[in-house]
Amino acid sequence: MGIFDKIMGGKEKEEVPDLEHYLDLEEEGDAVNPPADFYVKRIDLRNEGDANLAMKELTAKNVIILNVHALSKQPNRLKTIIGKLKMNCEKSNGDIALLTQDLVILTPSKVKIVKSKAKKKA
């Protein structure tokens, strides 16, 4: 930040840390770190095939974070697919919840999501 910016009240640029440096993107194990029993996986929901993949991953006891942004412009199709996923989660004793407007979390059996409704402002 220069002197002129200090005088004129310019804002400092906040540096965003490079998180990729800290995150290990490998999924498979090696000699030192064996593979995990369960994974958290992200799936982009674009069609019914992606929904079937999500259900397959749930039967493998993986937690799924489903990105539904691609289908947000097709609300009827999205509603149908989410309905099927919800029904399959309930059948397998899993759970489903909305994280954000574009992200849905699906959990396998014996993993429940604590859900709370947003408080209404007075």
pLDDT in tens, 80-99: 999 999 999 999 999 999 99
Domains and CATH numbers, the chain: 37-112 (3.30.110.150)
Which of the residues in the chain have pLDDT under 50? none
Nearest CA among 108, 7, 81 for reference residue 67: 81
pLDDT at 34: 78
pLDDT at 86: 94
pLDDT at 115: 85
pLDDT at 117: 75
The model's pTM is 0.69
